[in-house]
Amino acid sequence: MGNASGALRIKNVRVGSDSGLVQVTIEQGKIMQVGRAQESFVADIDAEGGLMVPALVDAHVHLDAALTEGFPSPNHSGTLIEGIERWGQRKPYLTEEDVIARAEEAIRWHVGHGVLKIRSHVDICDPDLTALRALIKVREKVRPWVTLQLVAFPQDGIFCFPDGPLLIEEAMRLGADAVGGIPHYEWTREDGIRDVEYAFQLAARYHKPVDIHCDETDDDQSRFVETMAKLTSQYGMAGQVTASHTTAMGSYNDAYAFKLIRILAQAGMLVVANPLDNVVLQGRFDTYPKRRGMTRVKELMAAGVPVAAGHDSIMDPWYPLGSGSQLFVASMLAHVGQLTGTEELKACFDSITYAGAKAMQLRDYGIEEGMRADLAIFDVPTTTDALRLLPRPRWVVAGGSIVASTPPSATKVLWDGEYRSVSYLRAPQGPPNLQ
Ligand code: FE2
């Protein structure tokens, strides 16, 4: 099925939770036609009523650290601080081959879950920039199938790490796609502000977007996102600036949070929440009640600030779990952010599709005629069913060619000598089918 010329015909497919069944024609890697089902249509794929969505987006992951969990020693406490210590012990072992092998494996895991758009932060606090050089090679290798963006990320700080300013600039010169930062990790508030300012100066010099790890702490006095908003406005960078994590927003007083969310919306900033890592790493200094370690997703969305959700870690020193499933990430976002209203669940799915695409500034993204055919086809009829059942896509299509496929998910089990449904797939309208 499918071929190198990127031609593919799909029938009995839905293109939205409220959509009827349509047929889709793809030619030369682009979506040529989305139309009503016709008897005479000869298809390569019969989606049997499943849901087609644009390729899922992981707008925030650390591929250089992926799959390093446990070596040279495991994170016994599971805390952020021990994670940083363990990563520091792992870094001397980094070689280009090691980074390439792990990153490619983690990308394959993503692709199997329908994720073809990935923004990876890359630690540049290394005099040799080994991980960045390796991931630039990976970016070129996967380009036909996967859009991989690399953020120059100063894990150990810009101003509290030897030659930090030179290293992050060198990373931009080598070809990083976005400038990162970590203001809350600098030693002083003043250096934190310089950290943000330096990122914007580099962004202007290299004509690149900004994506800063900002206020990833429970400290309610950590307030660097406001500086990002001011500079986004001053530099005229609306739509090009992302604040990642921003967990301190969960601890701010309501009056300050209200003001901050207003200025983020006004400045045209974006936010990426990372619910998997943050729900386990934050709140560690609390006894009870414990904070959830999440930014104010519901309120940001209500104010019109695009919120994407990232996987952040896949089996690394900070988070020993993870599989590349962005559906699991969106499901966790729904739980931790209490986003279970009907429209809110749709917004959670949006956080791993269209909002993620906005954070990555992808232009050719969506299921519309003329767009590049980067798609995932699930054997569930709605996005809510996808969030509930967390299936792998049956087919993953990149540029019109099938790049991954998974057998249909088992929705029936043998019980008392009879196969019975265990998933209750709802019809979009009408009564439930309980057979
Ligand atoms: Fe991160």
Q: pLDDT per residue over 382-417, tens digit each?
A: 999 999 999 999 999 999 999 999 998 777 788 889
Q: Which residue has the tokens 């809510």?
A: 384
Q: How far is the CA of 361 from the centre of ligand 1 (A)?
A: 18
What pTM was computed for the model? 0.96
CA of 367 to the centre of ligand 1 (A): 29
The residue with greater pLDDT, 47 or 39, is 47
List the one residue out of 138, 199, 143 whose CA is nearest residue 171. Answer: 199
**CB-CB contact of 195 with 183 (8 Å):** yes
Question: Is the separation of the CB atoms in 380 and 391 below 8 Å?
Answer: yes
pLDDT band with cut points at 50, 70 and 90 for residue 426? low
- Residue 187: count of CB within 10 angstroms of its CB: 10
| pLDDT of 103 over the 90 cut | yes
Higher per-residue confidence, 323 vs 17: 323
Give the pLDDT confidence score for residue 257 in this predicted structure. 98
The pairs formed by 426-431 with CB atoms below 8 angstroms and a separation of 24 or more are: 426/381, 426/382, 426/385, 427/381, 428/14, 428/17, 428/18, 428/381, 428/382
87-124: burial string, b at 16+ Cβ within 10 Å, e else: beebbeebeeebbbebbeebbebbbbbbbbbbbbbbbb
| Residue 429 confidence (pLDDT) | 52
By mean pLDDT, which of 69-73, 272-276, 416-420 is the weakest? 416-420
Q: What is the rounded distance in angstroms from the CA atom of residue 30 to the CA atom of residue 8?
A: 9
Tally Cβ neighbours within 10 Å of residue 285: 11
Query: Which pLDDT score, from 0 to 100, does residue 49 have?
Result: 92
**Ligand 1 centre and the CA of 97: distance in Å?**
23
Query: Of 148, 77, 132, 99, which Cα lies nearest the Cα of 320?
Result: 77
Does residue 178 come out as left (phi exceeding 0), alpha (psi in the -120 to 50 range) or beta?
Answer: beta
pLDDT at position 434 over 90? no
Residue-level pLDDT at 4: 57
Taking alpha carbons only, the member of 220, 201, 210 closest to residue 176 is: 210
**In the chain, what percentage of residues exceed pLDDT 70?**
96
Query: Mutual orientation of helices 326-336 and 342-350 as an angle, nearest 10°?
Result: 140
Tokens coding 345? 């669940």
Nearest to 354 by CA among 401, 391, 278, 301: 301
Q: Give me ligand 1 centre to Cα 316, in Å.
A: 11
Q: Which residue has the tokens 């089918």?
A: 433
Cα 289 to ligand 1 centre (Å): 25
At 201, the amino acid letter reads Q
Please tell me the distance from the alpha carbon of residue 89 to that of residue 100, in angstroms, as a whole number.
19
Q: Does pLDDT of 34 surpass 50?
A: yes
- What confidence score (pLDDT) does residue 424 get? 67
The tokens of 167 are what?
A: 């290293």
- Rounded CA separation 157/186 (Å): 6
CA of 182 from ligand 1 middle (Å) equals 10
Distance CA 196, CA 297 (A): 22
Query: Under CATH, which architecture does the 56-359 domain have?
Result: Alpha-Beta Barrel (3.20)
- Cβ contact 169:162 at 8 Å: no
Q: Quick check: 195 pLDDT over 80?
A: yes
Q: Give the span between the Cα atoms of 291 and 253, in whole angstroms.
A: 14
CA of 130 to the centre of ligand 1 (A): 19
Q: Would you list the DSSP string of 286-306?
A: --SSPP-----HHHHHHTT--
Residue 2 has pLDDT above 60, yes or no: no
What confidence tens digit (pLDDT) does each residue in 197-252 have?
A: 999 999 999 999 999 999 999 999 999 999 999 999 999 999 999 999 999 999 99
DSSP codes joined into one string, 393-406: PSEEEETTEEEEE-
Ligand 1 centroid – CA 273 distance (Å): 9
Name 30's bridge partners.
27, 372
Distance 278 CA to ligand 1 centre (A): 9
Phi, psi of 86 (to 5 degrees): -65, -40
Q: Compute, in angstroms, the gap from residue 419 CA to the centroid of ligand 1.
A: 44
Hey, what CATH class is 1-53+365-435 in?
Answer: mainly beta
Looking at residue 1, its pLDDT comes to 43
What is the structure's pLDDT at 410?
A: 75
The DSSP-derived string for 161-229 is: STTHHHHHHHHHHHT-SEE---GGGSSSHHHHHHHHHHHHHHHHHHT--EEEEE--SS-TT---HHHHH
Residues of the chain with CATH 3.20.20.140: 56-359
Burial 333-351 (b: 16+ CB within 10 A, else e): bbebbebeeeebbbbbbbb
Share of the chain above pLDDT 90, in %: 89
pLDDT in tens, 133-162: 999 999 999 999 999 999 999 999 999 999
What is the reported pLDDT for 207?
A: 98
Cα–Cα distance for residue pair 82/79, rounded to 1 Å: 5
Q: What are 333's two structure tokens?
A: 């976002």
pLDDT at 119 over 60: yes
Which stretch of 7-11, 81-85, 259-263 has the lowest confidence by average pLDDT?
81-85
Q: Where in the chain is the domain with CATH 2.30.40.10?
A: 1-53+365-435
Q: What is the pLDDT of residue 231?
A: 98
Give the pLDDT of residue 17: 73
| CA 185 / ligand 1 centre spacing (Å) | 13
State the distance from the centre of ligand 1 to the C-alpha of 187, rounded, in angstroms. 19
Residue 163 has pLDDT above 90, yes or no: yes
| Interval between CA 274 and ligand 1 midpoint (Å) | 7
Distance, CA 127 to ligand 1 centroid (Å)? 21
Residues 337-389 pLDDT 10s: 999 999 999 999 999 999 999 999 999 999 999 999 999 999 999 999 999 99
Q: What is the pLDDT of residue 67?
A: 98
Per-residue model confidence as pLDDT tens digits over 43-96: 999 999 999 999 999 999 999 999 999 999 999 999 998 998 999 999 999 999
Which active-site residues does the annotation give? 216
Question: Which of 164, 138, 162 minimizes the C-alpha distance to 152?
Answer: 164
